[in-house]
Amino acid sequence: MESRTVDKDVRRLVVQSAQSQAAPDGKTCLVISLKTTASISRSQGVPAKEVEVTALKQGIIPCRYLRNTGTVGLGGQIKLLQSTVAVVGAGGLGSTVIELIARQGIGHLIVIDNDHFAEQNLNRQIMSTEENLGEYKVLVAAKRVKEINSATSVTTFRERLTRENAQGLLSGAHVVVDGLDNLPSRLVVEYACRQLAIPYVYASIAGFSGQLMTIFPGDVGLSSLYGSAPNTAPEQGVETRIGNPPATVAMIAALQVQEVVKIITGVGTPIRNQILFVDTREFAIDRIELGR
């Protein structure tokens, strides 16, 4: 009964606080401000995320998501807020994914990484700065998410994901995103995701190019790229020679986030049983069907 009363009070306060505002398309819509959301959250003792979900269910858009809802709709934004996304690796790809996911309005993030920032990360890892060198990436990521979106909660694991702990760390996630830099760890994540029946958004980069695919349980996966005995493949690839420039990282990480949004909201078609190759040096984009 007490919970129902709180829900009713939150809904009443949200409706009372809504204001009319012109949307990007020029139409008038009802919105609720970040300041009002925070005030209701404090006064009612509920997470900001719950206030935002309540608003969206009443057709009231949190101002911060005005530029999202035209793409995913109010229902899609609710699904995003009610979802959990795990990011394995908070370096180049991972830190950019985390930044964009927080801005998109994912409700809960799981961030897994045991490394700290070093000088060689400054060229491409969006959360790496001269001031935080030596700090653990997961702690910096959690702080950054809090600065971007107070409605997004973060669970951090400052440890290396292994075959032994993978299922425990990833349990509860609706999607897992690859922020790794080596094949053996990716194979561990893929196996755990299959066991947990969670979609896995794989990606890697090197120089001007990157590749991406989403692997659902039952889909073809990394063995279609690396053969039936992938453990014989090298741990890392050509990126150790030609480098990881920042623009390539940002481009592929952005595509990973779009896959996450499509999976959660159902808007659009994820890249399944295919691999997307992007080469910006020649600006060639290819989608290749994968066989078992």
Tokens encoding 229: 């005995």
* Shared-domain flag, residues 47 and 95: no
> Is pLDDT at 233 greater than 60 in this prediction?
no
Dihedral sign from CA coordinates of 96, 116, 149, 112? positive
* Domain C-terminal end among 34, 65, 96: 65
Q: Give the chain's mean pLDDT.
A: 93
Instruction: Report how far residue 47's alpha carbon sits from residue 181's, in angstroms, rounded to the nearest whole number.
Output: 35
Cβ atoms within 10 Å, residue 82: 15
What's the pLDDT at 77?
98
pLDDT in tens, 63-94: 999 999 999 999 999 999 999 999 999 999 99
* Shared-domain flag, residues 30 and 164: no
Instruction: Report how far residue 206's alpha carbon sits from residue 99's, in angstroms, rounded to the nearest whole number.
Output: 21
Indicate the number of domains in the chain: 2
* Shared-domain flag, residues 165 and 49: no
| Contact by Cβ (8 Å): 154, 141 | yes
pTM exceeding 0.95: no
Pairing state of beta strands 274-279 and 284-289? antiparallel
Instruction: Report how far residue 121's alpha carbon sits from residue 181's, in angstroms, rounded to the nearest whole number.
Output: 13
Tokens encoding 89: 């690796």
| Contact by Cβ (8 Å): 145, 107 | no
* CB proximity list for 135: less than 8 A, separation 6 or greater: 116, 117
> Is pLDDT at 240 greater than 70 in this prediction?
no
* Shared-domain flag, residues 13 and 121: no
Instruction: Mean pLDDT check: name the lowest of 117-121, 243-247, 248-252.
Output: 243-247
What's the pLDDT at 239?
63
What's the pLDDT at 172?
96
> Is pLDDT at 1 greater than 50 in this prediction?
no
- 5 or 157, greater pLDDT: 157
Q: How confident is the model at residue 26 (pLDDT cuts 50, 70, 90)?
A: confident
Taking the CA atoms of residue 176, residue 182, residue 184 and residue 190 in that order, the dihedral angle to the nearest 10 degrees is 20
Average pLDDT on 40-60 reads 97
Tell me the three state secondary structure of residue 116. Answer: strand
Domain ranges, residue 181? 83-289
Pairing state of beta strands 200-206 and 175-178? parallel
Residue 208 lies in a domain: yes
* Shared-domain flag, residues 117 and 177: yes
* Shared-domain flag, residues 60 and 88: no
Average pLDDT on 1-24 reads 85
Q: How confident is the model at residue 6 (pLDDT cuts 50, 70, 90)?
A: low
pLDDT in tens, 178-203: 999 999 999 999 999 999 999 999 99
Tokens encoding 112: 């897994």
* Shared-domain flag, residues 101 and 201: yes
Instruction: Report how far residue 208's alpha carbon sits from residue 245's, in angstroms, rounded to the nearest whole number.
Output: 7
Cβ atoms within 10 Å, residue 164: 8
Q: What are phi and psi of 202, to 5 degrees?
A: -90, 145
